[in-house]
Amino acid sequence: GESVGLHLPTLSVQEGDNSIINCAYSNSASDYFIWYKQESGKGPQFIIDIRSNMDKRQGQRVTVLLNKTVKHLSLQIAATQPGDSAVYFCAERSRPDKLIFGTGTRLQVFP
């Protein structure tokens, strides 16, 4: 099938380690941010979101951090597993009808 993320930056981690994926967003007026996971041959899957009135939000094994001062977003994955291998995209929204995606990062997990 068709691959996604052939030319994207890659983060390689060992199974069990923590992963940190970073993203710089462009619009200081953006008030909502989402992280998506995209496995090969599939559509993006919603992971976690955060609104601009928060600095941190935690989910199951994932944490999103938002630094509005420097327009930076990060996704932390605890105890990374082989099933976490995918391309990860951040996305920002400044109005309901437009979600803007970042360039993406490929996460490779080694045993």
Give the interface with another protein as residue ranges (CB under 8 A). 1-8, 32, 34, 36, 41-46, 49, 51, 89, 91, 93, 96-104
CB of 54 to another protein, least distance (A): 12
Q: What dihedral angle (degrees, nearest 10) is formed by the CA atoms of 15, 11, 92, 78? A: 20
Output 101 or 110, the one with its CB closest to another protein: 101
d(CA 62, CA 74): 10
Shortest gap between Cβ of 91 and another protein (angstroms)? 8
Residue 18 beta carbon to another protein: minimum distance, rounded to whole angstroms:
25
Residues 6+ apart with CB under 8 A from 22: 72, 73, 74, 105
